Amino acid sequence: MKENPSMIITGTSKGIGRGIAQYFLSKGYTVFGCSRSASTLEEPEYFHSQVDITDYKQVRTWISSIRKVSPSIDVLICNAGIAPASTLLTMMSGDLVEKVMSTNIGGTYYVCQEVAKQMVRQRSGRIITISSMAVGLHLEGTSAYAASKSAVVEMTKILAKELAPFNITCNTLAPSMMMTDAVEVLGDEIISHALNKLTIKRKLTIDEICNVLSFFIAPQSACITGQVIHMGLVN
């Protein structure tokens, strides 16, 4: 690992994003995080910004501010996303469907676009997007969310081809289930049903998730690009 590596993570105020930030801070990274809300994470090398990633101007301003204080951007982890659950016949409002797509697809694209500009200049970088087991689980009530996360997978594969000439790798991690606030609200019945559809029928730990992220980031993974790693494996 290079001296004083820097990392950008979206969606760090809570849940998996916060756990990822804490993990890589402990490994010596300077971490720039964002979410719509403020963060209670207080570490000397953690810098938080309140950003709505669906707003391209906000994303551009945020990444520009990071470039002014960091000589390089070594890693981007696109973690931010929303996952409202509703079946087609009790479907969420059109505005909420649009919010899912604009956050999970549009927001991810905007951040990748702005960070990639810097990575192209430095001719190196790692981009990791976060998908979900929902893509293969086909669980009732997740149609909009699963569709958005499927789009993220395909987008990442195309970015891998576009950015390969600049020594930038782009991969996707699709974790199964980790106990977060967003998961807890689903209730025991839905959680149990989802876990029973997995090959490894248990919840993930943040260390397990970060182990795969570390694999993607490692210098030895310079030829790993356009790949998706599914954790837990949906049957």
pLDDT over threshold 60, residue 145? yes
Whether 16 is covered by a domain: the verdict is yes
Domain residues for 218?
Answer: 6-229
145 noted as active-site residue: yes
pLDDT over threshold 60, residue 58? yes
Whether 54 is covered by a domain: the verdict is yes
CA–CA separation, 127 and 108 (whole Å): 11
Structure-token pair, residue 50: 């309140």
pLDDT over threshold 70, residue 117? yes
> Nearest to residue 192, comparing CAs of 203, 181, 205, 180?
203
Whether 1 is covered by a domain: the verdict is no
Q: Tell me, letter by letter, the H, E, C secondary structure of the chain.
A: CCCCCEEEEECCCCHHHHHHHHHHHHCCCEEEEEECCCCCCCCCCEEEEECCCCCHHHHHHHHHHHHHHCCCCCEEEECCCCCCCCCHHHCCCHHHHHHHHHHHHHHHHHHHHHHHHHHHHHCCEEEEEECCCHHHHCCCCCHHHHHHHHHHHHHHHHHHHHHHHHCEEEEEEECCCCCCHHHHCCCHHHHHHHHHCECCCCCCCHHHHHHHHHHHHCHHHCCCCCCEEECCCEC
pLDDT over threshold 80, residue 107? yes
Helix axes 206-217, 15-26, angle to 10 degrees: 60
> In this structure, what CATH number is given to the domain that contains residue 80?
3.40.50.720
- Write phi, then psi, for 229 (nearest 5 degrees): -110, 120
Whether 99 is covered by a domain: the verdict is yes
Identify the pLDDT of residue 177.
78
- Encode pLDDT of 73-104 as tens digits: 999 999 999 887 776 666 666 778 899 999 99
Whether 153 is covered by a domain: the verdict is yes
Whether 235 is covered by a domain: the verdict is no
CA 65 to chain centre: 21
Instruction: Choose the catalytic residue: 23, 109, 110, 145.
Output: 145
Whether 234 is covered by a domain: the verdict is no
Structure-token pair, residue 143: 């149609």
Domain count, the chain: 1
- Encode pLDDT of 148-204 as tens digits: 999 999 999 999 999 999 999 999 999 987 756 556 556 677 777 778 878 888 888
CA–CA separation, 213 and 193 (whole Å): 27
Whether 209 is covered by a domain: the verdict is yes
30 forms bridges with which residues in the sheet?
A: 6
Structure-token pair, residue 147: 């569709």
Identify the pLDDT of residue 186.
60
Identify the pLDDT of residue 116.
99
Q: What is the mean pLDDT of residues 219-231?
A: 97
pTM of the complete model: 0.93
Average pLDDT, the chain: 91
